[in-house]
Amino acid sequence: MRLHRNLVFATIDSLHLIFNENKQADKVLKNTLKRDKRWGSRDRSFIAETTYDIVRWKRLYAEIAEVKEPFDRANLFRLFAVWATLNGIKIPDWPQFEHTPTRRIKGKFDELSKIRKYRESIPDWLDKLGEAELGKKWTTEIAALNQLADVVLRVNPLKASVKQVQAELLDAEIETETIPGFPYALKLKERANVFITDAFKKGWFEVQDASSQKVAEILSPEPGMRIIDACAGAGGKSLHIASLMENKGQVIALDIYGNKLKELKRRARRNGIHNIETRLIDTTKVIKKLKGSADKVLIDAPCTGLGVLKRNPDAKWKLQPEFLEKIKNTQQKLLVSYSKMVKTGGQLVYATCSILPSENSEQVATFLSSAAGNDFSLVQEEKIFPSKSGFDGFYIALLQHN
Ligand SMILES: C[S@@+](CC[C@H](N)C(=O)[O-])C[C@H]1O[C@@H](n2cnc3c(N)ncnc32)[C@H](O)[C@@H]1O
């Protein structure tokens, strides 16, 4: 592979914004990729995939390159040189790459790969936390979380069948395959930008990881029910729930951010869904009004996102130990407060995209032993680990209101 100057420069610029200006990787790349209209899909993939790779392996590469944050431009080129060398790409004779010690890079890689926190490229605190919470399992899970994520679609049965979506995408030269056990899922055989396809614009599918598709399945919504999605965000799960309800009944989508709910409405229109009502939680009254009113409530709780590091590797660097403590507090509060919206005989699903027991089963156990959880009992608990599933890490608990 021959390296092109403007693509490498665009990658370096993106890394500067992510590492030194604390910008979110997906947002940075969205902007970078707008920079040159002449870039084709291969050029775009190069920038995006290389940037994500260097973000994923930041600690390991920085250790090999012997550079420390904040990275100046020369340091960023050194990180890039490590990436290129380890990927068998010839370093061009540009001034930025003068004196790249190719041989030493490979030697240091072998040496550092013996130590988990370098091999898996994670901060010390996170490595300690993972081991304290998951024991030996941590080694396999963090390795799985460093693999590139598959692109998985969820077919919208209100608009198309799985076969129809497969055929239409094939016409656009995008090959997909079904995933056993996931009735609406299609996995892309190769990465592609599905957002520009007609099938996407017609609302035939959404991009949603297979593990995430389990949440609505376990909630098992039925047409005619009243379901509250209490942390709906931009509606990944709300859309799934509404489609399973065949547009009959009511989904009330709540969140504390109005812009996310606005995006949810836009997505619902594209999906041909008209039974979702959004409500902004701007006072505690919003929740009080819904007391005892729902057949089912979903709490897709805010969390560390440690189960989705595959698709969000910069979380390794942005997460802080204090955030974990704060978010655990919020999770328990949400369980206590939002469970009140479930009617007697109804059900509650608590889900996170984390693999830490302290955000998952321990939260549910604390809730069940509290006064608020007294009337609830645990029916089903799914701990989805990326090493086993091959998809994102998730936790899903189904509770019955007796
Ligand atoms: C894991 S995300 C939800 C993802 C969304 N359900 C989906 O499937 O696309 C958690 C959401 O909880 C929201 N949130 C944070 N604090 C909240 C609170 N106190 N009440 C309700 N939602 C909250 C966040 O804004 C975020 O959208």
pTM for this prediction: 0.97
Burial-class residue 223 by CB neighbours within 10 Å (0-12, 13-18, 19+).
exposed
Tell me how far the alpha carbon of residue 233 lies from the centroid of ligand 1, in angstroms: 5
In a domain, 261, yes or no: yes
Tell me how far the alpha carbon of residue 137 lies from the centroid of ligand 1, in angstroms: 28
Tell me how far the alpha carbon of residue 289 lies from the centroid of ligand 1, in angstroms: 19
In short, whether 257's Cβ falls inside 6 Å of ligand 1 is yes
Q: Is the distance from CB of 227 to CB of 245 less than 8 angstroms? A: yes
Residue 21 pLDDT: 96
Among protein residues, the one whose CA lies closest to atom 15 of ligand 1: 302
Q: What is the mean pLDDT of residues 138-164?
A: 98
- Going by the annotation, the residues of the binding site for S-adenosyl-L-methionine are 255, 282, 300
In short, whether 300's Cβ falls inside 6 Å of ligand 1 is yes
- Are 233 and 367 in the same domain? yes
Residue 103 pLDDT: 85
Q: Rounded distance, CA 189 to CA 181, Å?
A: 18
In a domain, 232, yes or no: yes
- Are 203 and 218 in the same domain? no
- Are 201 and 290 in the same domain? no
Give ipTM to 2 decimals.
Answer: 0.99
In short, whether 314's Cβ falls inside 6 Å of ligand 1 is no
Q: What is the mean pLDDT of residues 234-251?
A: 98
Q: Is the distance from CB of 331 to CB of 283 less than 8 angstroms? A: no
Q: Confidence band (pLDDT; 50, 70, 90) for 168?
A: very high
Q: Confidence band (pLDDT; 50, 70, 90) for 100?
A: confident
Residue 297 pLDDT: 99
Judged against a pLDDT cut of 90, whether residue 99 lies above it is answered with no
Average pLDDT, rounded, for the chain: 97
In a domain, 135, yes or no: no
In a mutational test of the pocket of ligand 1, which residue from 256, 266, 271 has the highest number of ligand atoms less than 8 Å from its CB? Answer: 256
Residue at which a domain ends, from 162, 191, 207: 207
- Are 309 and 346 in the same domain? yes
Tokens of 123: 């901060």
Tokens of 107: 């030697």
In a domain, 146, yes or no: no
- Are 312 and 214 in the same domain? yes
Q: What is the CA radius of gyration of the chain?
A: 23
Judged against a pLDDT cut of 90, whether residue 399 lies above it is answered with yes
- Are 70 and 27 in the same domain? yes
Q: What is the CATH number of the domain that holds 311?
A: 3.40.50.150
Q: What is the CATH number of the domain that holds 193?
A: 3.30.70.1170
Domain count, the chain: 3
Tell me how far the alpha carbon of residue 185 lies from the centroid of ligand 1, in angstroms: 23
Q: Confidence band (pLDDT; 50, 70, 90) for 127?
A: very high
In a domain, 254, yes or no: yes
- Are 298 and 195 in the same domain? no
In short, whether 231's Cβ falls inside 6 Å of ligand 1 is yes
Q: Rounded distance, CA 241 to CA 277, Å?
A: 13
Q: Rounded distance, CA 14 to CA 84, Å?
A: 17
- Are 86 and 113 in the same domain? yes
Q: Rounded distance, CA 278 to CA 259, Å?
A: 11
- Are 249 and 375 in the same domain? yes
In a domain, 160, yes or no: yes
* SS3 category, 160: coil
Q: Confidence band (pLDDT; 50, 70, 90) for 1?
A: confident
Q: Rounded distance, CA 104 to CA 115, Å?
A: 18
Structural domain of 158 = 152-207
> 45-54, 73-82, 95-104, 218-227 — which is least confidently predicted?
95-104
Atom of ligand 1 nearest to the CA of 257: 25
Residue 384 pLDDT: 98
Residues paired with 351 in a beta bridge: 300, 396
Among protein residues, the one whose CA lies closest to atom 13 of ligand 1: 231
- How does strand 176-179 pair with strand 182-188? antiparallel
Residue at which a domain ends, from 207, 229, 251: 207
In short, whether 256's Cβ falls inside 6 Å of ligand 1 is yes
Tell me how far the alpha carbon of residue 338 lies from the centroid of ligand 1, in angstroms: 12
All residues at 6 or more sequence positions from 102 whose CB lies less than 8 Å from its CB, including other chains: 85, 91
Q: Confidence band (pLDDT; 50, 70, 90) for 102?
A: confident
Among protein residues, the one whose CA lies closest to atom 26 of ligand 1: 233
- Are 97 and 176 in the same domain? no
